[in-house]
Structure 1
Amino acid sequence: MAKRTINKVAVIGSGIMGSGIACHFANIGVEVLLLDIVPRELNEKEQAKGLTLEDKVVRNRIVNDALAKAIKSKPAPLYHKNFASRITTGNLEDDIAKVGQVDWIIEVVVERLDIKKQVFENLEKHRKPGTLITSNTSGIPIKFMSEGRSEDFQAHFCGTHFFNPARYLKLFEIIPGPKTNPEVLDFLNGYGEQFLGKTSVVAKDTPAFIGNRIGIFSIMSLFHMVKEMGLTIEEVDKLSGPVIGRPKSATFRTVDVVGLDTLVHVANGIAENCPDDERKSLFVLPDFINAMMENQWLGSKSGQGFYKKVKKEDGSSEILSLDLDSLEYRAKKRASFGTLELTKSIDKVIDRWPVLVGGKDKAGEFYRKTLAALFAYVSHRIPEITDQLYKIDDAMKAGFGWEHGPFQIWDAIGVDKGLEFIAAEGLEAAAWVQEMRDSGSESFYTVVDGATYCYDRDKKGQEKIPGQDAFIILDNIRKSKEVFKNSGVVVEDLGDGILNVEFQSKMNTIGGDVLAGLNKAVDLAEKDFDGLVVGNQAANFSVGANIGMIFMMAVEQEYDELNAAIKYFQDTVMRMRYSSIPTVVAPHGMTLGGGCELSLHADMVVAAAETYIGLVEFGVGVIPGGGGSKEMTLRAADTFHKNDVELNVLQEYFLTIGMAKVATSAYEAYDTFILQKGKDIVVVNKDRQLATAKAYARLMADRGYTKPIQRTDIKVLGKQALGMFLVGTDSMEAGRYISEHDKKIANKLAYVMAGGDLSEPQRVSEQYLLDLEREAFLSLCTERKTLERIEHMLKKGKPLRN
C-alpha cells in the first residue's frame, strides 16, 4: 500500500459542524480549505455599502461569518487563536477547482441526500483520482450517496462521522460504502487515532451507526420510563449524571444543549429505517415530546426546553424546570436518594454499580430497569451494527462522554445479575450471551499480561483487542507491575527501565502521602531503573496541593509544621529536577497550582492537548509556594537578552502568576511560559500520552543523562523591579481593579520575583529564591482574608474576591 499523507484538506459546508471540523484539522497543523455556497441576495449592510452580488466579500460572506462565529464560540474550537491562520475560506463557485490540490475532501452540508449527491457530482469534476472523499452524515446511508459516481470515487469514499464539538468529543465513526477500498478504512482508522486524537470506530452502514443508535435508544428509553416511574426531570438528571460517570449535563440538560429537534430527527430516522428493531416502539415519540416540538421548546437555542432561565424581579436569574404532566414550568426541586448516599465514599465509578443496582428505593429500581433495557438492546445490536462488542463501549465513551460502556457496566454488576434484571423486565438478551456463559467465559472482558481481551461472538472465545500496543493502560498493569504503594500513590514498572508514579488521592491533590510517594519513586528509580514518569489516567492530572491540610495548620497556627510542609513540597519538586535519572511529567485535564509546579520542575513535559494548566494560588490568597514563584523568576532571567528592557520581561512572568492565568489548551501554555518551546511537547491523543512520555524518558537515558547542577546564577533586579511592581499594584488598587488583599498578595510576589529589596541587580541561587517564596507564602497564611479565601474554595469550589 502506497504511503498516504494528509497535508491539506477541503471541508465543504461551514455550519457549526463544518467549521468545527476545519478548526480541529487546523489544531493538528493541517492546511484547510473551507468552502460554502454563494449568497443569493445582499444583506442590509452590503446594500448600504453599495456592494453587488459579484463582490468577493459578498460571495464569501456565508463561509466567513460562519467561521468567525465558530472561532468566537465557547468552548473554543481552536487550541490556540493563531491556528485560525491555517484555514483559507472560499465559495463553491469561484474556488471549487482548488479541491484538486487537497488530500482529503470532507462533505458537511445539510442532511439531504439530493443536495449531497449534487455536491459530490460537482466535486468529482475537480477531484484528483486517489483523493479521499468522505461525508460527515449522521444518519443518511452511505450506500446511497456514492451511487452513479466513478469507480475511483467509490473506492475512496466512505462516511467519517465526527461528533460535535469536534475538538472535544473523541468519537470518530468510519462507515464503509459498498465499494470502499479496505486500505482506505485502515488508513482513516489509524489517522483518526494517531493524528486527530480520536477513538476511531469502524461501524456498519446501519441507521445512526453505533454511537447515536445506542445513545438515542438510551435517551428514548428514559423518556418512556420517566412517566411510568413518576420521576421528575431533576431526579432523572441526578441519577444519570456524574454519580454513574456521565457528564454533569446528564440527560435532560444534555438534550437542551444538543437541541430537541436534533434528537427527534435521529429518533425518527431510526423508527422509520429499522423495521426489524425489537424495541422500535421506544423510538416513537411520547406525547410530552410532541407537545414540546409543537411549542418549539427546543432547548438552549430557543431559550427554553426541559429547563428555562428566567429573570427575577431583583434582577437575578433562576432556572425553572418543566413539569412533564402539566407541561408548566416550576421552581427546581432538589432530588435526593438514599442509594446515592451509599456511594459517596466510593471513588471509582465502576465500583458504585453493584451498590446502585442493589438500592431498595426508587433509585435502585431506576438503575435495574434502565440497565435491563440497555443490556438487552446492545446484545441484540451484535452483529447488526458491529461484530465486536468493544466498539459499542468505545463509541459510548468517546461520543457521549460515558466513563464506561454498556458491556463494561454489565461486567461490573456481573453477567448473570444482568441477565436476571433483563428477565425481570420481561425482556430477552441475544442468544450469544448465554453461549458465552456456556463456553466458560464469566465476563465480556478479561485482562491478561497487561492486555485487554474481549469475547468474540464469531470465534466463541476471548480475543485480544487490536491496536493496544501504542497505549499503556494503568488499570491493566497496576496490580501485576506494582513496585510501591501508599495511600497517595502507586508506583508501577512500565517496562524498559522506566517507572511511573500514579496519584491516587481525591482529585489527585498533592499532600504528604503523594510527596512521600514521589520521593520514594525517585529513590527506586535512581537505584534500579533508568527514568521516571509522573502520569495518571484519571479525569484530571492534579487540582493542586491539599489546601484543606494547609487551612487546618494555618487555623491552628501550627506555623512550624506548615513551614516544614511547604519546605517538603519545595524539596520534592527540586528532587524531581536534580535527580540522577530523567523525569517526565504527563499532565492532562486540570493541572493547577501544585500540579503545575510539579510539571515546571520535570526534565520534560509531555502534555495532552487538552491540558488546563496554570498557577492559580492567588485565587486562595497565597503565592505559588512549591517552587512556582522561584521557577517563573528563573525562567524570566533565562530569557533576558542583551539590550532587553529586563523589567518588561520580568513583568510578563509576574502577570502569569498575578492574574492566575490558566491555559485552555497545552498550546496556550507556551504563551504563559508554563511549557517551554523546544523542550516540552504536546500529544493530541491522551491515550498515547503515557507511552510517549515513557519513550522520551528512555531516549534521555539512552543519550546519557547526567544529573544537573543546582543553579546559583539567577539574575534578579532588586529595588528597580520591586519599585516598578509596587507602583503598578498601587495604581491597580486605586483604579479598583484589585482589592486591598489582592494588592498585598501581589506585593509579596513582587518581593520574591525581584529577589528582595536589593540595592542593585545581582546573581542569586535557587535556594535563596525558594526561601523568599516560602516566607511570603507563610506570612500570607497568617492573614484572615487568605483563610477566608481558602475556606470559601474548600466549601464552594470557586475563588472568593475579598
Structure 2
Amino acid sequence: MKRIIKKVAVIGSGIMGSGIACHFANIGAEVLLLDIVPRELNDKEKAKGLTLQDKAVRNRMVNDNLTSALKSKPSPIYNQKFASRISTGNLEDDISKIKDVDWIIEVVVERLDIKKSVFENIEKHRTPGTLITSNTSGIPIHFMNEGRSKDFQEHFAVTHFFNPPRYLKLFEVVPGPDCKKEVVDFLMMYGEKFLGKTSVLAKDTPAFIGNRIGIFGIQSLFHQVKELGMTVEEVDKLTGPVIGRQKSATFRTVDVVGLDTLVHVANGIYENCPEDEAHDLFKLPEFIQTMMDNKWLGSKTGQGFYKKVKGDDGKSEILSLDLDTMEYTESKKAKFATLEETKTVDKVADRFPILVNGKDKAGEFYRKNFASLFAYVQHRIPEISDELYRIDDAMKAGFGWQHGPFEIWDAIGVEKGIELIKAEGKEPAKWVTEMVASGSNSFYSVKDGATYYYDIPSKKQVKKPGQDAFIILDNIRKSNEVWKNSGVVVEDLGDGILNVEFQSKMNTIGGDVLAGINKAIDLAEKDFQGLVVGNQAANFSVGANIGMIFMMAVEQEYDELNMAIKMFQDTMMRMRYSGIPTISAPHGMALGGGCELSLHADKVVAAAETYMGLVEFGVGVIPGGGGSKEMTLRASDLFRKDDVETNVLREHFLTIGTAKVSTSAYEAFDLNLLQKGKDIVVVNKDRQIAEAKKHAVLMAEAGYTQPPKRNDIKVLGKQALGMFLVGTDSMNAGHYISEHDKKIANKLAYVMAGGDLSEATKVSEQYLLDLEREAFLSLCTERKTLERIQHMLKTGKPLRN
C-alpha cells in the first residue's frame, strides 16, 4: 500500500509535542496540534472578561506552548514562516478533525491511564488505516494496546523522537505486538528519507536502545567519579570532544537536560529491569539523591553540577559542585598528561588506543569506563537489539557520540577490549569469544565502499542494510582516490563524477585547498563529467585560512597577499565557469570562504542544518573571494522596473555588513545566499553526497554548457554610495558601530556601489572583483584589522575595536 503523509495530528503540545509539530512543519507537512482545555481562567483572561467558553481560553494551553516553542533557541523550526503550516485546537472541540489526517502522534504525559484515555478518544474519530504512534520512552506497548481495536493495533507503534526533535537524529521505531510489517517498514523509511533521522528498530524493552545505554553510561560515571576521586571538571574534560562527544560532555549535558529527567529514566530502568546484570548501577548514588532533594536540577533551577554567580566586580563566574562537601567552589582547570599525547591526533578513533594506555588518572578512568561500557553493551544483544550496529547508531544519533560503543571497541582492538573487561572482574559474552575464536577480529569491516557488521546468528560479516541511498566518504576514500595533497582528497564517486573533500583543520580554505579544487576541475574537464565539493566532517568549511592572511599582512608581504586573494577569486570563478557542472554540498557551518564557494557553484545541494553567511566583518575585512561581487550581482538580478533599487542593494549590503548567518538552509534562501528554483535542500545529511552526485549526473547528461561570463551587472554608483555613507555616519554617531566598523562598511559600500560612478552603469564581474580585492588588501594594512584577526585566531571570538 502506497502511503503519503500530507497531514499529521500531534496530541499534546508540551516541549516534545510542539517540537515534533515544528519538525513536521519543517518538512512541509500540514500539522494539527491539539491539547487539553484549561479548567479555570488565568488573571489576564479574567481582566479581559473572557469565559471558559471563549475559543481563546479553550486553546490557551496549545497556543501558549507553541508560541513558547517558536521563541525558544535554538529554534525548533527551519524558518518562522513555516509555522503557518501548524493549526492549533483542543481535544474537545477539534478532536473530530483527526479523521482527515494521515498520521496521529500521541505526546501526552507519561502516565498509562492518561494515554489509554487519549487513545480511547482518538479511536472514536480516527479513520481506519491511519498510522497511530506514541512518543513514549518508557511505557510498554502491550499495555497501551489493551482494549484497542484490531485496526488500531495493526497500525500502532512507538516512534520515539529525541529532544530537541529538529536537531537530534535518533528516531526509535518500536512496533506494537500486532503492528503490520508494512507499517514498520514505512515508519523506518519515512524517518530516514523525510524526517532526516537515523531510524533505529528497537524492541519493546524499558528505555528502548538509546536511553538504556546512554543512562547506563551516565549512571556508571556517577559511581566511578567517587570511586576514582575525580572532580566534575575532570570528568567533563575527559568525556567531551577528545572522545568525539559534545563540548557539554557529561555533567554540563545533565544540567541542560535536567537531572530530574535523567533520574526518571534511571528509576524506570531500575524498577523494570530486575534481571539486568548491572541492576545496582541504576540505583541513585547518595550525592544525586541530595541534589534531587535540594532541587539542584540544572539550568531549569539555576544550579546543578554547575552554578553561575556574579562576583563583586559584576562579572559572571561558573562554580562547580564539590561532590564530597556538596558545596559550590571555584572551577579548576583539569589537565592530564594522557590528553596531551592526543593533541596531534586529529582522528578521534585513533585517540582511543592512546587514552586506554595512559599512565595517569585519565588512563585509569578510560580503562574502567570503556571496560564497563563494553561489558554492558555485549549483554544487551539480543535483549534490546538483535544487531550490534543498531546500538551504535542509537548512541551516535541520540547522544551525539561520534563513535558508538562497538566502534570504540574496534578502535581499541577487540582483544584489548576483552583484556579491559577481564581486568574489571567481568567476562566477555559468549558470542564475543566465539567471534574472536573464529578469526574475526573486528565488529565492522569495509568492502567495496560498504560497511559490514558481525552478524551473531550467522557468525559472519554481513552488509549493513540501507546504505544504497548513501555515499560514505570514509568507506571509499582509499579505494577511489584519484588525487590528493595536504589540503584535499579527490575521490571518484562513480558515473563520471568527482568529489573534492577538504582535509584541512576545520576545513579552512588555504593555498593547498585552492590548488586541490583547481586540480579537481582540471581532472573533471579532461576525463569526467561533473564535480561535487563535499565532505562529511562536522562543518563544511569555516572559511579562509586567516592565519595565513595574518602572517602575510604582519610581514607586509602585500604582493604575495594580493596574489593569494586573486587565486581565491580565480578559483571561485573557475567553479562558476568550468566546462563541467559544479555542485557544492554545504552543511553545518559554511562561513566566509565556505559560503563564497557555494555562491559560485552551478548548484547547491545544502543540508537542512546549514549555517551559512559572509562573516568577514568579524575579522575586519570584507568578503574577498568573490562574495562582495556576488551579492552585488544577485542584487542587480533582482532589480525590477520602477523598484527602488537602492532598497534591494541595501538588503544585500546588510547581509554582509551585519555578518548575518542563516539558522538553516531554508533561511539562507531569505538572505539570497541560496537561490530559489536553482538550489535545493536535503533533510538527511547522510544522503547529501549521493544527492549532489545525482544532480551533477543529471546536469551533465542534459547537455551542460559553460555559462557566458557576466558583463551586465547594474551598479548604482554615487546614488548608492551616498546612501551607504550617510547610513554608516549615523550608525557611528549613534555609537552602534565603531570607527573601524565604519571604515570596513565604507569599503564594502564602495565595492557594492561599483565605485563613485556618476550614474548607474553596467559592469563586468572582473571589474567588481578588482574593486573587492583592492578593498580587502587595503583593510589588511590596518592595525585594527590585524588585532581582530589575531583575537579570532587566539579565542575563536570576534573583537569589537
TM-score range, shorter chain: over 0.9
Distance in structure 2 (CA, Å) of the matches to 1:761 and 1:260: 62
- Root-mean-square deviation over aligned CA pairs: 0.6
Question: Offset of 1:317 from its aligned partner?
Answer: 1.3
Give 2:492's aligned amino acid: D
Does the CA-based 8 Å contact 1:377-1:429 persist in structure 2? no
Paired letter, 2:488: V
Identity %: 81
Q: Residue 538 of structure 2: SS of its match in structure 1?
A: coil
Task: Please state whether the residue corresponding to 2:9 is helix, strand or coil.
Answer: strand
CA distance, structure 2, for counterparts of residue 624 and residue 260 of structure 1: 45
1: CA distance, partners of 2:650 / 2:316: 39
With the length of structure 2 as denominator, give the TM-score of the two structures.
1.00
In the alignment, residue 772 of structure 1 is paired with which amino acid?
A: L
Map Cα deviations across residues 581-617 of structure 1 (whole Å, 9 max, x no partner). 0000000000000000000000000000000000000
Q: How does 1:73-222 map to 2 (within 5 A)?
A: 73-222=72-221
CA-to-aligned-CA distance 1:224-278 (integer Å, 9 cap, x gap) = 0000000000000000001100011100111111111111111111111111101
Distance 2:121 2:74 in 1: 34
Correspondence list, 1:641-660, <5 A: 641-660=640-659
1:24 shift after superposition: 0.3
- Whether the 8 Å contact between 1:573 and 1:601 is mirrored in structure 2 is yes
| Corresponding residue number in structure 1 for 2:33 | 34
In the aligned structure 2, how far is the partner of 1:542 from the partner of 1:498? 21
1:603 partner amino acid: D
User: Alpha-carbon deviation of 1:285?
Assistant: 0.6
Residue 336 of structure 1 aligns to a residue whose secondary structure is: coil
Which has the higher mean CA deviation after the structures are superposed, 454-463 or 496-505?
A: 454-463
Match of 2:351, SS state, is helix
Aligned to 1:422: 421
Instruction: Please give the per-residue CA displacement for 1:469-527, whole angstroms capped at 9, x wherever unaligned.
Output: 00000000000000000000000000000000000000000000000000000000000
Confirm whether residue 667 of structure 1 aligns to residue 666 of structure 2.
yes
1:279-338 per-residue CA deviation (whole Å, 9 max, x = no partner) reads 101001110011111111111111111111112222221111100011011110110000
Other structure's SS at 1:277 match: coil
User: Which AA in structure 2 matches 1:359?
Assistant: G
Deviation at 1:429? 2.1
Corresponding residue for residue 683 of structure 2: 684
Q: Give the deviation of 1:709 after TM superposition.
A: 1.5
AA aligned opposite 1:246 = R
Structure 2 letter corresponding to 1:383 = P
Contact kept? 1:261, 1:293, Cα under 8 Å: yes
CA offsets, 1:388-445, max 9 Å, x none?
0000000000000000000000000100000000000001221100111112211000
SS in 2 for 1:231: coil
Who is 2:361 aligned against? 362
CA distance in 1: counterparts of 2:659 and 2:136, whole angstroms: 42
Equivalent residue number for residue 50 of structure 1: 49
Code of the residue aligned with 2:783 in structure 1: it is R
Amino acid of the residue matched to residue 289 of structure 1?
I
Structure 1 match to 2:751: 752
Give the whole-Å Cα distance in 2 for the aligned partners of 1:42 and 1:223: 44
Query: Residue 713 of structure 1 aligns with which residue?
Result: 712
> 634-643 vs 411-420, which deviates more?
634-643
Match of 1:629 in 2: 628
**In structure 2, how many angstroms separate the alpha carbons of the residues matched to 1:646 and 1:54?**
51
Correspondence list, 1:548-587, <5 A: 548-587=547-586
Report whether the alignment pairs 1:506 with 2:505.
Answer: yes
Task: Output the CA distance in 1 between the equivalents of 2:245 and 2:368.
Answer: 18
Q: How does 1:226-265 map to 2 (within 5 A)?
A: 226-265=225-264
Within the alignment, does 1:341 sit opposite 2:353 as a pair? no
The equivalent residue for 2:384 is: 385
Partner of 2:6: 7
CA distance in 1, matches of 2:75, 2:494: 38
In structure 1, what residue type is equivalent to 2:214? G
Equivalent residue letter for 1:520:
K
Question: Alignment partner of 2:291: what SS?
Answer: helix
Q: Which whole-Å CA distance do the structure 1 matches of 2:329 and 2:487 have between them?
A: 45
Task: Verify the 8 A CA contact 1:714 1:766 in the aligned structure 2.
Answer: yes
Q: Distance in 2 between matches of 1:456 and 1:283?
A: 29
Aligned to 1:494: 493
Distance 1:640 1:188 in 2: 46
Residues 560-592 of structure 1 deviation map (CA, whole Å, 9 limit, x = unaligned): 000000000000000011100000000000000
- Alignment pair present for 1:298 and 2:297: yes
Equivalences for residues 392-431 of structure 1 within 5 A: 392-431=391-430
Verify: 1:792 aligned to 2:791, yes or no: yes
Distance between the aligned counterparts of 2:259 and 2:645, measured in 1? Answer: 56
What is aligned with 1:373?
Answer: 372
User: Which whole-Å CA distance do the structure 2 matches of 1:296 and 1:647 have between them?
Assistant: 56
Partner residue, 1:763: 762
How far residue 751 of structure 1 moved from its aligned partner, in angstroms, is 0.5
Give the deviation of 1:710 after TM superposition: 1.1
SS of aligned partner of 1:105: strand
- Name the residue aligned to 1:19: 18
2:459 matched residue in structure 1: 460
Q: Which runs of 5+ in 2 are unaligned?
A: none
Residue by residue, what CA displacement relative to the aligned partner does 1:735-779 show, whole Å, maximum 9, x if unpaired?
Answer: 111111000000000100111111111111111110000000000
Paired position in structure 2 for 1:525: 524
Deviations 1:45-98 (A, max 9, x none): 111111111111000000000000000001100000001000000000000000
Q: Distance in 1 between matches of 2:636 and 2:248?
A: 45
**Following the alignment from structure 1 to structure 2, what is the Cα–Cα distance between the partners of residues 207 and 479?**
41
Distance 1:680 1:139 in 2: 42
Tell me how far apart the structure 2 counterparts of residues 680 and 381 of structure 1 sit (CA, whole Å).
44
| Deviations 1:374-395, CA, capped at 9 Å, x for gaps | 0010000000000000000000
Distance in 2 separating the partners of 1:300 and 1:722: 48
- Name segments (4+ residues, structure 1) moved above 2 Å: none
Amino acid across the alignment from 2:321: L
SS at match of 1:760: coil
Match of 1:731 in 2: 730
Whole-angstrom distance in 1 between the partners of 2:764 and 2:176: 65
Which amino acid is the alignment partner of residue 488 of structure 1?
G
Q: Give the aligned partner of residue 434 of structure 1.
A: 433
Instruction: Tell me, yes or no, if the aligned pair for 1:155 and 1:179 is still in contact at 8 Å.
Output: yes
1:444-480 deviation digits (Å, cap 9, x = unpaired): 0000000000001111111100100000000000000
Amino acid at match of 1:292: M
Query: Alpha-carbon deviation of 1:784?
Result: 0.4
Q: Distance in 2 between matches of 1:799 and 1:218?
A: 37
C-alpha distance in 2, partners of 1:765/1:326? 70
**C-alpha separation in 1, matches of 2:190 and 2:428:** 35
Aligned length: 801
- Quick one: which amino acid aligns to residue 366 of structure 2? Y
For the 8 Å contact 1:597–1:627, the answer to whether it is kept is yes
Output the CA distance in 2 between the equivalents of 1:111 and 1:555: 61
For residue 619 of structure 2, what is the amino acid of its counterpart? V
**CA distance in 2 between partners of 1:632 and 1:475 (Å):** 35
Match of 1:589?
588
1:613 aligns with 2:612: yes
* Cα distance, 1:625 vs structure 2: 0.2
- Is 1:331 the counterpart of 2:330? The answer is yes
Residue 40 of structure 2: SS of its match in structure 1? Answer: coil
C-alpha distance in 2, partners of 1:729/1:262? 50
